[in-house]
Amino acid sequence: AQIKQVEYVKSSARPSDCPKDDRPEFAIVGRSNVGKSSLVNALVRKKEIALTSKKPGKTQVINHFLVNKSWYIVDLPGYGFANAPDSVRMDWSAFTKGYFLKRKTLVSVLLLVDASTPPQQIDLDCANWLGRNDIGMTFVFTKCDKRKAKKGNQPDENIRSFLQLTRKYYKVPPPWIMTSSVTGFGRDDLLLHMSQLRNY
Ligand code: GDP
């Protein structure tokens, strides 16, 4: 299940521009600052695979990275750049939604959720939207190493409430995995999970 090689393939401005082959793919989404680049770098064990869509900008693109010449990691625009008054609302463009709804080779969406904070409405909205549209997903909890000294919820409690709150969005609750890009915790679990889904 290890990643031996990763190459950047292309950035697509429309779902219809995405690679046309039928290799399976995993889309990675989450709030800005959730730890997406750190996680991808930890998976790939490279300091920078350069997620080119990192900066929130006007042009939204879908980035395809080919792993071991056999499957894709897809980096999608993040959501919830907190400045608008309605920033709690999930703000995906028709473009991102179109990708989810049309992409036949999508195996699972990896929804990254920060375990160091209590559930955020925007992440719940995202899970809800994906659930309503029957899009396969995996909750990947990030920053699980980040324990609070005294006050505040610990990662385990945050995860428990997130799972509790999202239960009603699904007929079958999605699989979930705890990770930390700092300690490497969960890395092998996540790679194994993805390889199992690919071969399913
Ligand atoms: P992105 O905006 O989603 O790509 O997030 P980054 O990967 O740039 O991470 C955002 C911040 O969270 C940075 O300050 C990281 O150092 C920190 N961070 C990311 N992953 C972890 C983690 O697993 N544990 C801890 N403690 N901090 C993390």
Going from the Cα of 107 to the center of ligand 1, the distance in angstroms, rounded, reads: 25
pTM (2 d.p.): 0.91
In ligand 1, the atom with minimum distance to the C-alpha of 181 is 23
Low-confidence ranges of the chain (pLDDT < 50): 52-53, 81-88
Query: What integer pLDDT is reported at residue 169 of this predicted model?
Result: 92
Query: What integer pLDDT is reported at residue 83 of this predicted model?
Result: 45
Query: What integer pLDDT is reported at residue 92 of this predicted model?
Result: 66
Q: Report yes or no: 65 and 7 within 8 Å, Cβ to Cβ.
A: yes
Nearest residue (by CA) to ligand 1, atom 17, is 35
In ligand 1, the atom with minimum distance to the C-alpha of 41 is 7
Strand-pairing partners, residue 83, are none
In ligand 1, the atom with minimum distance to the C-alpha of 33 is 2
Q: Tell me the pLDDT tens digit for each residue of 151-169.
A: 778 999 999 999 999 999 9
Which tokens go with 60?
């939204």
ipTM score of complex = 0.98
Query: What integer pLDDT is reported at residue 150 of this predicted model?
Result: 73
Query: Rounded to the nearest 5°, which phi and psi values hold at 44?
Result: -85, -15
Closest CA to 28 of 9, 41, 46: 41
Measured from CB, residues less than 6 Å from any atom of ligand 1 are 32-38, 142-143, 145-146, 180-182
By most ligand atoms within 8 Å of CB, the mutation choice from 38, 116, 146, 181 for ligand 1 is 38
Which tokens go with 167?
């239960």
Q: Could you give the domains of the chain? A: 6-198 (3.40.50.300)
Query: What integer pLDDT is reported at residue 85 of this predicted model?
Result: 44
Going from the Cα of 138 to the center of ligand 1, the distance in angstroms, rounded, reads: 19
Going from the Cα of 35 to the center of ligand 1, the distance in angstroms, rounded, reads: 4
Q: Tell me the pLDDT tens digit for each residue of 35-65.
A: 998 998 888 876 556 554 455 555 678 899 9
Going from the Cα of 65 to the center of ligand 1, the distance in angstroms, rounded, reads: 20
Going from the Cα of 73 to the center of ligand 1, the distance in angstroms, rounded, reads: 19
Going from the Cα of 34 to the center of ligand 1, the distance in angstroms, rounded, reads: 6
